[in-house]
Structure 1
Amino acid sequence: MSNFDALVPALARALEKRGYSELTPVQKAVVAPELGEADALVSAQTGSGKTVAFGLALAPTLLEGAERFGHAAAPLALAVAPTRELALQVTRELEWLYELTGATVASCVGGMDMRSERRVLERGAHIVVGTPGRLRDHITRRSLDMSALKAVVLDEADEMLDLGFREDLEFILDAAPAERRTLMFSATVPRSIATLAQGYQRDAVRISAAGEEKQHLDIEYRALSVAQPDRENAIINVLRYYEAKNALVFCNTRAAVNHLTARFNNRNFSVVALSGELSQNERSHALQAMRDGRAKVCIATDVAARGIDLPNLELVIHADLPTNPETLLHRSGRTGRAGRKGVSALIVPNSARKRTERLLQNAGLKATWASPPSADDVMRRDDERILADPVFDEPVRDDERGFIDALLARHGADLALRDAAGAAQHR
């Protein structure tokens, strides 16, 4: 347990139980002794382990030396996230991390029954995770007691400001006790975030998680040059070539999402769409279809995809080019997470080559330039996958041998070669 000696013991055991052997750079940074009980403004990319990071950072503040929590009279910590999906993901992470402390973690998010959330809060929760608008509603209706809060966390603060939640965030922070810790996590720190931090944090420690770039070392960037009329076929060939467990295809507009979804459905891809016109229930069903394997491809706009987490995401395709380096990094960072490898493929019309080169340069990324996979490339990969199937390494059972002998007698390699040669002579 030497890697986790500085942590609250119950959380260290939870990490070991979960299979952790070491902390990520951002996790190490927020539990460093020199941070102590200070406020912090942390820049960390999606997928860098920041949910566990702030869970670890909060534990000494919330437990105050105790091994387990007592009855939750009122919440001790509040975590605010930009979207329902991210808030529920944070809730799940904190539940396993704090399992051995006896903590109750409650979620308050838009699209869910407010009365049910109110009953959960009345029963008592140590940590509350929610979206800005719903948390403000609960505070206004006095169903969320803020009086005992020791800490507030803003997760993906830059996205919350981009989505127009500044007023809600300021309302929430103003309602919290003045004597509290405030931790802000943000992929980028534009002026708007710096201003918010100055207004609501005290002598905050600025942490830029070293090793953020390592996340992107686990991502293979490919820039695929295409003629504009071949763009859709290129996307389809990329999907077929990689055959990823989960793939995310980004478009810049809702209309483009709908168009590609229709095209992919016609080609018999198991696909779901995420765009602004979907209800919360439809979004949940689409994401669940991806998680349980009923769908393998999700087509989405940047706004609609905010906050979603697909654990088996192996491939990101930029059907439309990102408009800036931050969007490129954020889209791509949804793969190559937690030590797993991923591919980020940019579909680049020939006329956009120079613009894409500048985009990659400004993002600090190097991509391999190539043509999209051809039909022959896809078929070769299919053959490789068939030959790599573990079933071919299994020993032949006695009850299978008779059928295999008959199969070889009728369709053996020698016969296949003879047939192929005969076909070639008649061409």
Structure 2
Amino acid sequence: MSFADLPAPLREALTARGYAEPTPVQSAVLTPDAAGRDLLVSAQTGSGKTVAFGLAIAPELLGDAPRLKPAGAPLALVVAPTRELALQVKAELTWLYAPAGGRVVSCVGGMDPVAERRQLSHGAHIVVGTPGRLRDHLERGNLIPGSLRAVVLDEADEMLDLGFKEELEAILDETPAERRTLLFSATVPRGIAALAKGYQRDALRIEATSQAEPHGDIEYRAAIVAPHELERAVVNLLRLEDARIAMVFCATRASVARLHGNLSERGFSAVALSGELSQAERSRALQNLRDGRARVCVATDVAARGIDLPDLGLVIHAELPRDPETLLHRSGRTGRAGRKGVSVLLVPHTRRRLAERLIAAARVKASWAPAPSAEAVRARDDERLAAQARAMVAEEPEEADLDLARRLLADQAVSAEALAAALLHVLRAPLPAPEEVTEIADRSAPRAPREAAPRPQEGGGEEGVWFRMDVGRDGRADPKWLLPFLCRRGHVTRQEIGRIRILARETQFEVAPYAAQRFAAASRKGDEQDAHIRIVPMQPMRRGKR
């Protein structure tokens, strides 16, 4: 399907925006089979679905007329889960329907409801809003639903996840029974299927994206890190990739606030997005990213829902997503509109199995490697700075600068090498310093059977290295928490811990020889919860002696 059969005003808008051919989801909703029918559409983020449903509802808005009639009661309603997504949808539909004389009004939480009521009273062809605010306007009589010919639920799965089921049902119950209902969702879980069954008639199911073929423009990576070094790994990833815009995802508002503050303190131009911010603060943060005044966005999943930043080239999962859908939604912020993107999961080595299951369930392939080291960042810096210096030298210099350079070189105390070093020092100065991280070996290739792995053994074999910790029976030392604690504190696996001897005031334990150096280095760095527990190496002991 092409754009050739669309009304002239819509073709004009698409041409002005550089659209030559429809994307798969746009083609799917424009087929003759889809005409006039309710639609249940699966489409990934960045696939052009906003334009898709904008084109799909054109017959209900325009009919055979070249332009829309003067705005009155709305003809179409679009419901979106978040303010940002609703405002983006409004912006997209505004340019799409501008040549046809379309008027689009938004009704979203966090904005002035009085101003919205005034906008609605002036008439609209399309109303875009969030569930709570739309329901409020319906109940107050500000939004008149009687003329609605089409209702679109955008990212319906997310709206159900956010607890908007009651609001959606209340909105749909108020709309005319003969309306078209278009339901767009990244996935179709049980709740979405029930919603479709209850409010759609003979809906055409469209899968614009094969679940077996996730977004092809996103490169997935998994970086293995020590649990207490996640923040340092974020710093090194941001520095190594040097993306025009990067987004870092955290699980909670508190994590966002802490990471944002620490990144800003290290010299990154960063903004934060979380549910506690006002609409004005969120809009200002996004504008700073688009204008280039900020390059890093630290966000929660809900706050970042629906955000469209075309130059976003890097997504970092500072905390693992809760499910495969969240992984795909987060990653879908990058790799949009034909651009390539990178999505990196930071995986504490203690949670590797969980991350592997998550990646497999999302049907993506990820390359595994340790988190980037400070040395790797400095090597990449050298390449970039050298290229930047060459580019600066290639430019035609100002005569005044050239004259000053000659005078400096004429001074016997200043050499060309010193001038070049000074230039590189100036270029390097604004860059945040890379962080030293513990190198966690990638044991992904090919994994040996567990019983074949070297480990301390009671019945002979290579003697392990013994360590002592200052907690014993009197301190309620218990094997149930001791073994997980040692693995977490020392960055080792259960197979690398051997015999454990719990004495009255201390605990002695054995670590596999090949892992002892790694354990000793890691165990010196306790976190806030266990820093009071001291672990030191002992002299190797003979079997049977204490």
| Conserved? CA contact 1:43–1:185, under 8 Å | yes
Rounded Cα–Cα distance in structure 1 between residues aligned with 2:409 and 2:79:
64
1:393 positional shift? 3.9
Q: Which residue of 2 aligns with 1:353?
A: 352
Q: Please say if 1:411 is aligned against 2:410.
A: no
TM-aligned CA distance change 1:394 to 1:33, over 3 Å: farther
Secondary structure in 1 matching 2:305: coil
Look up the equivalent residue of 1:39 and give its one-letter code: D
1:210 positional shift? 3.7
1:376 positional shift? 2.2
Look up the equivalent residue of 2:67 and give its one-letter code: R
Q: How does 1:268-347 map to 2 (within 5 A)?
A: 268-347=267-346
Q: Which residue of 2 aligns with 1:383?
A: 382
**Structure ranking higher in helix proportion:** 1
1:247 positional shift? 1.2
Q: How does 1:8-407 map to 2 (within 5 A)?
A: 8-210=7-209, 216-389=215-388, 390-396=391-397, 400-406=401-407
Secondary structure in 1 matching 2:33: coil
Stretch deviating more after TM superposition (182-191 or 240-249) = 240-249
Which structure 2 residue ranges, 5 or more long, are not aligned? 422-546
TM-aligned CA distance change 1:381 to 1:164, over 3 Å: same
| Conserved? CA contact 2:39–2:182, under 8 Å | yes
| Conserved? CA contact 1:11–1:97, under 8 Å | yes
Deviation sequence 1:243-294 (CA, Å, 0-9, x none): 2221111111222222212221221212222223223333223222222222
| Conserved? CA contact 2:2–2:27, under 8 Å | no
| Conserved? CA contact 1:48–1:212, under 8 Å | no
Look up the equivalent residue of 2:195 and give its one-letter code: L
TM-aligned CA distance change 1:262 to 1:12, over 3 Å: same
Look up the equivalent residue of 1:161 and give its one-letter code: L
Residue identity over aligned pairs, in percent, reads 62
1:49 positional shift? 0.8
The structure with the largest alpha-carbon Rg is: 2
Rounded Cα–Cα distance in structure 1 between residues aligned with 2:419 and 2:406:
14
Rounded Cα–Cα distance in structure 1 between residues aligned with 2:54 and 2:214:
20
| Conserved? CA contact 1:26–1:48, under 8 Å | yes
Rounded Cα–Cα distance in structure 2 between residues aligned with 1:416 and 1:114:
59
TM-aligned CA distance change 1:69 to 1:253, over 3 Å: same
Look up the equivalent residue of 1:227 and give its one-letter code: A
Normalised by the length of structure 1, the TM-score is: 0.92
Rounded Cα–Cα distance in structure 2 between residues aligned with 1:173 and 1:229:
48
| Conserved? CA contact 1:6–1:31, under 8 Å | no
| Conserved? CA contact 1:86–1:308, under 8 Å | yes
Rounded Cα–Cα distance in structure 1 between residues aligned with 2:115 and 2:419:
69
Secondary structure in 1 matching 2:188: coil
Rounded Cα–Cα distance in structure 2 between residues aligned with 1:308 and 1:258:
19
Secondary structure in 1 matching 2:6: coil
TM-aligned CA distance change 1:105 to 1:392, over 3 Å: farther
| Conserved? CA contact 2:212–2:363, under 8 Å | no
Look up the equivalent residue of 1:175 and give its one-letter code: E
Rounded Cα–Cα distance in structure 2 between residues aligned with 1:3 and 1:404:
60
Q: Which residue of 2 aligns with 1:422?
A: none
Look up the equivalent residue of 1:342 and give its one-letter code: G
Rounded Cα–Cα distance in structure 2 between residues aligned with 1:69 and 1:221:
45
Rounded Cα–Cα distance in structure 2 between residues aligned with 1:50 and 1:98:
16
Rounded Cα–Cα distance in structure 2 between residues aligned with 1:381 and 1:416:
18
1:381 positional shift? 2.1
Q: Which residue of 1 aligns with 2:427?
A: none
Rounded Cα–Cα distance in structure 2 between residues aligned with 1:18 and 1:320:
37
Normalised by the length of structure 2, the TM-score is: 0.73
Rounded Cα–Cα distance in structure 2 between residues aligned with 1:9 and 1:388:
48
1:382 positional shift? 2.2
| Conserved? CA contact 1:246–1:314, under 8 Å | yes
Aligned length: 416
TM-aligned CA distance change 1:386 to 1:407, over 3 Å: farther
Rounded Cα–Cα distance in structure 2 between residues aligned with 1:376 and 1:149:
61
Look up the equivalent residue of 1:92 and give its one-letter code: A
Stretch deviating more after TM superposition (129-138 or 384-393) = 384-393
Look up the equivalent residue of 2:349 and give its one-letter code: N
Rounded Cα–Cα distance in structure 1 between residues aligned with 2:332 and 2:317:
12
Q: Which residue of 2 aligns with 1:425?
A: none
Look up the equivalent residue of 2:146 and give its one-letter code: S
Q: Which residue of 1 aligns with 2:439?
A: none
Rounded Cα–Cα distance in structure 2 between residues aligned with 1:55 and 1:317:
32
1:92 positional shift? 0.3
| Conserved? CA contact 2:213–2:363, under 8 Å | no
1:11 positional shift? 1.1
TM-aligned CA distance change 1:154 to 1:404, over 3 Å: same
1:226 positional shift? 1.3
TM-aligned CA distance change 1:330 to 1:415, over 3 Å: closer
TM-aligned CA distance change 1:388 to 1:53, over 3 Å: farther
1:8 positional shift? 2.1
Deviation sequence 1:44-68 (CA, Å, 0-9, x none): 1111111000001111221001111
Q: Which residue of 1 aligns with 2:534?
A: none
Secondary structure in 1 matching 2:32: coil
| Conserved? CA contact 1:138–1:144, under 8 Å | yes
Look up the equivalent residue of 2:333 and give its one-letter code: R
| Cα RMSD (Å) | 2.1
| Conserved? CA contact 1:215–1:336, under 8 Å | no
Rounded Cα–Cα distance in structure 1 between residues aligned with 2:101 and 2:255:
47
Secondary structure in 2 matching 1:216: coil
| Conserved? CA contact 1:62–1:76, under 8 Å | yes
Look up the equivalent residue of 2:416 and give its one-letter code: G
Look up the equivalent residue of 2:218 and give its one-letter code: I
| Conserved? CA contact 2:42–2:209, under 8 Å | no
Rounded Cα–Cα distance in structure 2 between residues aligned with 1:110 and 1:173:
19
| Conserved? CA contact 1:37–1:181, under 8 Å | yes
Rounded Cα–Cα distance in structure 1 between residues aligned with 2:290 and 2:419:
44
